[in-house]
Structure 1
Amino acid sequence: MSRTLHYFFAILMVLTSVSASAQAEPTKGGIVNIAMIGEPPTLDPMMSTADLVGTITQHIFETLYTFDEKWQVIPLLASQMPAISDDGKTYVIPLRQGVTFQNGQPMTSKDVLASLHRWEKVASRGRQTAEIITDISAPDDHSIKIVLKQPYAPLLALLSLNNSAAVIMPDAQTRQNPLTEFIGTGPYQLKSHQADRFIQLTRYEGYHSQAGEPDGYGGGRKQYLDEIRFVPVADPNTRIEGAVSGQFAYVDSLPVESFDKIKNGKDKPVLLKPYGWPIFVMNSRQGLTSDILIRKAIQAALAPQDMMTAAFGSPDFFSLDGAMYPKDSIWHTEAGTAPYKPMGDTAKAQQLLKEAKYQGQTLRILTSRQYEFHYKLAQVAQAYLEAAGFKVQLDVEEWASLTQNRANPERWDMYISHSPFLPEPSLTGIMSDTSPGWWVSDKKHTALQAFNSETDPQKRVALWANVQKAIYEDVPMFKVGNFNALAAQSPALQGVRPSPWPYFWNAYLTQ
């Protein structure tokens, strides 16, 4: 299956003041402050699909597998790729030996087994996967056996992702819900969490790294930095000024229109192109948007051209595309995308509202200003939805609150989110019946089961078209377009590879 995972991100890193030469072996030491978009809703990576959570906690916790620089699955806590039975239903995963948790205890299959059982119960992607799993067992201290009801191609990708993540923790810790301890096997350990001030990570001296050179999220993980501090900076203008003044070593999620200003500041811009897509997720479970005619009216009313222009300004930073994956991806297909209209279709939306017998109920949209483009998208969407006849209410919340409130179907009809282009389509949140939005339909299940049970890479590409058709026909979400992501990095900080979830093992300071 790993052959189907390709590296979609054309990465441009603009660090004009940084020397191309590198030290033979960087010097250990230093503290870096990393500006993030806000306070994470949790530090339990199983409990959240938020990129903010995954970005921070991937330094503390590790998974059995991860992604290399080409987005292929490679071992992390596993010692090698699994032995898979001829029928594709049984995976035997050998575990690395010598790995210890940050409390000094050795990692064994008992810990891995307990962690995977917890993942099946509390993580949205874990619950999705549990429907396919017959049994998980530990044949000995150094291996795990997973038996499936049927072949399931996304399994290893699901075991690799860093949010809603199948992280490994000590057996005793797995019985905590919510977590009260945060002990993993990662290169950095949690020292202090002062809410709304910083999350302080320090080097775990007992860390047992994979051998070899760094390779994407895998390979050798060196701990040059003494300390990493993730600082919540909710206001995007404050993040911009922090980058210009050089207040932070790295600033995540900057508005793309600040590119020129950042370029002339102390930190330098880092552009990921293309990064991903913003989406409006519909509440398919209850309330106004549980009516498919209402969802189709929203689909017709929204105007991606004006929404993306408001959110990202220049077309240098976005493109209009109804396909779930960009043109250079193996997953790109135009199947089902006819309803995607750059300027929307107000008349069609009005007709659909009439057919739905819409009575003027309030359409509640959850959004946040910590991702400023979310808020701008919501403002333009509100105008077009009101033009179609909807009564619209924008509920603007802190990102941490939004990610918690979206779990309650009574509180919203749509919420705005975004995602990088994930290497395996089945990692997308809406593919899980239990993910907020709760898209459940026979059409989805038929298309997704055929896609996930096929292990031949080329056949999977063709079957993905049917899943995309189901998305457009059931309208569990509205994809607005493709966008580029902007961050900023100090010239003194080296060894950071631009990536959708930035990581700071292998990073070091030169000044």
Structure 2
Amino acid sequence: MLNRRDFLWAAAALTGTAIVARPGWSQTETRVLRFVPQANLSILDPVFTTAAVSVTHGYLVFDTLYGVDNDLQPQPQMAEGAVVSDDGLEWLITLRDGLTWHDGSPVTAEDCAASLDRWSQRDTFGQSLRAATEAFEAADERTIRIRLSRPFPHLLAAIGKPHSSPAMMMPLRLAQTPPTEAVTEMVGSGPYRFVAEEYVSGSRVVYEKFEGYVPRQEPAAWSAGGKVAHFDRIEWHIIPDAASATAALQNGEVDWLEIVMPDLRPLLDAAPGVTIQKQDPTGFAAYIRFNSHVPPFDNVKLRQAVLAAVDQSAYMASITGGDPESWQECRSMFPVTMPGVLDDDFGMMPGDLDHARKLVEESGYAGEKVVILHPTDMVNLAPHGLLTADLLKKLGLNVELQAMDWGTVTQRRQSKEPVENGGWSIFHTNWPSASISNPATNANIRGQGAEGWFGWYDDPELEAAVTEWLSASDPAEGQKVFETVQKLAMQGAPVIPLGVFYVNSGLDASLSGVVPGSASFFWNVS
């Protein structure tokens, strides 16, 4: 029996009607890949936000000086390589020859130095690098010079990190955008260019192959290697309803569904012409994020009360359909799937409501309103708002659950106002494990205050420990400091870990070459 997609192709063949080539067909027509992202793309600047959908968009349009391989080790990308001085205070990074921006102008060291400067003001790892940097500058047209005030052994790991505000390069005029403002003009040097005239937020995003892109020769691996674009055009279709998105893949109306809901997976398992692939083998870590800047969760005792009450199994069951193979417990502020992480809550997560209620009483909580930002269109987040609202009510807190889409959450969470003036108390989030695997990259736990990630947790003692970890040249010494950071973070409770889960994508069976990683990568796919 022909499905709808095959019927359309058969009809086109009989009538001579032109049709866009589907994956796997050898045609002279435009080759299009149709993709359903996990959420609407509302912020285009992948340096300005940590939102996963913006990072995935960013990898299409922009490129990085370094990427990471399958072992998460930094590898040259736009760079030919790097040389560091004997005293560790000067790094020279040489650009590959022939790099061009989408507007046809050459990529220069001045562009990249300015991009690093802006990125280092937004990203948590970047801020740590910036604190040790005297200047990002151009030594010549193709050589970036980074002058340091002290050695920074993790420099390549910082500028090559694969997720959550990667150090993506932009032309000078865009890189000079104040870090407090999002870049809206999309001109990069990546394998695809953004088609601005076809962008409709909440509906459609379009990219076209950049013919001037010169891939590296190495095989593609995570965010490193040869980024070969096999499709002429990539179309994102924003479909907030999971059942509708699943049906679109079943019916051949789209080719790639970024996230398959566990309760809908049996439909795709039974669908002819559809395959399932695990997106990231290290998993995604789920958290409750507090606003530590305003009442009531500026009170550490109240944060600890919620930490003491959480049952991770309930949260994980709500997004994995109860499949025990799809998640694992994570009693740590870092994903337990990553090296060096202690699966230890230091006695802070007993899962005891009576103990938690006692901590609420000790906190002096006086009935202040708790506003939870609740994205109904994010399949891996929507259930968590409901669970947290119910849990906080059991603890005697005054809770208001405010429903909205994820794009609105990414806007609202920027507000530092009290809840009475449009602020917030809690939102839920997921991070690719690789993006928060060490003390410098884990924005969740950084205690940078007003300069840090949304929630603005302030902890000078923890920040001092992070600085010590960054300076450690001996691995054993670094691991000891890492464990100190983990304990301090658990005690301060800027977030609450909910577990590590694994995401599956649904693919048209004719697609091959999808590169696993912390984002959906479109190169190498054919």
The normalised TM-score by structure 2 is 0.86
Contact (CA 8 Å) 1:29, 1:224: kept in 2 or not?
Answer: no
The CA deviation at 1:28 is 9.8
Question: Per the alignment, in what secondary structure is the counterpart of residue 339 of structure 1?
Answer: coil
Letter aligned with residue 309 of structure 1: A
Q: Does 1:450 align with 2:494?
A: no
2:454 alignment counterpart:
436
Residue in structure 2 matched with residue 398 of structure 1 by the alignment:
405
TM-superposed CA distance for 1:264, in Å, is: 1.1
> Are residues 1:152 and 2:152 paired?
yes
- The gaps in structure 2 that reach 5 residues or longer are 1-23, 418-422
Could you give the per-residue CA deviations for residues 188-211 of structure 1, whole angstroms, max 9, x where no partner exists? 101231222211111111112212
> Which residue does the alignment assign to 2:57?
56
Query: Equivalent of 1:320, from 301, 326, 329?
Result: 329
SS in 1 for 2:105: coil
Query: Residues 271 and 122 of structure 1: is their aligned pair in 2 closer, same or farther, counting only changes over 3 Å?
Result: closer
Does 1:422 find its partner at 2:434? Answer: yes
Secondary structure, counterpart of 1:287 in structure 2 = coil
Q: Which residue does 2:222 correspond to in 1?
A: 216
Among 282, 297, 300, the residue aligned to 1:289: 297
- 1:123 CA drift (Å): 4.8
Q: What is the aligned counterpart of 2:500 among 473, 479, 482?
A: 482
Aligned partners of 1:245 and 1:267 also within 8 Å: no
Residue in 1 aligned with 2:138?
138
TM-superposed deviation, 1:274: 4.6
Output aligned runs, 1:326-345, within 5 Å: 329-341=338-350, 344-345=351-352
Q: What corresponds to 2:359 in structure 1?
A: 352
C-alpha distance in 2 between matches for 1:37 and 1:149: 41
Displacement of 1:458 in angstroms is 4.0
CA-CA distance at 1:440 after TM superposition? 1.6
- Report the CA distance between 1:403 and its aligned residue: 1.0
How far apart, in 1, do the equivalents of 2:226 and 2:374 lie? 39
C-alpha separation between the residues in 1 aligned to 2:337 and 2:453? Answer: 28
**In structure 1, distance between residues paired with 2:185 and 2:399:** 42
Match of 1:472 in 2: 490
- With over 3 angstroms needed to count, the CA separation of the structure-2 counterparts of 1:240 and 1:461, relative to structure 1, is farther
Equivalent position SS for 1:372: coil
Q: CA deviation at 1:142?
A: 1.4
One-letter code aligned to 1:89? L
Structure-2 residue corresponding to 1:384: 391
Note if 1:231 corresponds to 2:237: yes
* Deviation (angstroms), 1:27: 9.6
Q: Which residue of 1 aligns with 2:46?
A: 45
Distance 1:279 1:33, change over 3 A: same
Unaligned runs of 5+ in 1: 1-22
The 5 A counterparts of 1:146-295 are: 146-160=146-160, 161-176=162-177, 177-191=181-195, 192-265=198-271, 266-272=273-279, 273-295=281-303
- Counterpart amino acid of residue 467 in structure 1: V
Cα deviation, residue 336, structure 1: 4.4
SS of structure 2 residue aligned to 1:159: helix
Partners of 1:37 and 1:235 within 8 A in 2: no
Instruction: Report how far residue 73 of structure 1 moved.
Output: 0.5
Q: Which letter maps to 1:472?
A: M
Q: Provide the rounded CA distance (Å) in 2 between the counterparts of 1:327 and 1:149.
A: 34
- Counterpart residue type for residue 409 of structure 1: K
Distance between the aligned counterparts of 1:215 and 1:271, measured in 2? 15
**How far apart, CA to CA, are the structure 2 residues paired with 1:113 and 1:149?**
17
- How far 1:122 sits from its partner (Å)? 4.7
Indicate the percent of aligned positions where both proteins have the same amino acid: 23
**Aligned 8 A contact 2:204 2:237 in 1:** yes
Match of 1:481, SS?
A: strand
With normalisation by structure 1, the TM-score equals 0.89
Name whichever of 147-156 and 361-370 sits farther off: 147-156
Change (3 A) 1:470 1:267: same
Q: Secondary structure at the match of 1:295?
A: helix
- In the other structure, the counterpart of 2:6 is none
CA distance in 1, matches of 2:504, 2:460: 39
1:127 and 1:330 map into 2 onto residues whose CA distance is 23
Equivalent residue pairs, number: 482
Cα distance in 2 for residues equivalent to 1:190 and 1:457:
42
- Structure 1 residues 455 and 397: alpha-carbon distance in aligned structure 2, compared to 1, 3 A threshold: farther
- Alignment RMSD, CA only? 2.3
Range that drifts further, 82-91 or 481-490: 82-91
User: Does the CA-based 8 Å contact 1:256-1:485 persist in structure 2?
Assistant: no
1:153: how far off?
4.0
Structure-1 residue corresponding to 2:514: 496
Q: Rate the CA distance shift 1:205–1:432 in 2: closer, same or farther, 3 A.
A: farther
Going from structure 1 to structure 2, the CA distance change for 1:169 and 1:274 (only over 3 Å counts) comes to closer
Relative distance call for 1:326 and 1:42 in structure 2 (3 A) is closer
Contact 2:447 2:463 (8 Å CA) reproduced: no
Deviation at 1:130, TM superposition (A): 2.2
CA deviation vs aligned residue, 1:263-300 (integer Å, no higher than 9, x gap): 11242222244512110111111221001111111111
Q: Is the 8 A contact 1:124 1:432 kept in 2?
A: no
Name whichever of 119-128 and 291-300 sits farther off.
Answer: 119-128
1:372-398 CA distance string (max 9 Å, x none): 231212222222221121122212221
SS where residue 118 of structure 2 aligns? helix
Equivalent residue of 1:158, what SS?
helix
Quote the residue 1:18 is aligned against.
Answer: none
CA contact (8 A) 1:249 1:489 kept: yes
Give the direction of change, closer, same or farther, for the CA distance of 1:329–1:123 in structure 2 (3 Å limit).
closer
- Are 1:91 and 2:91 matched, yes or no? yes
AA aligned to 1:428 is: N
The alpha-carbon distance between structure 1 residues 274 and 163, as it changes in their structure 2 partners (threshold 3 A), is closer
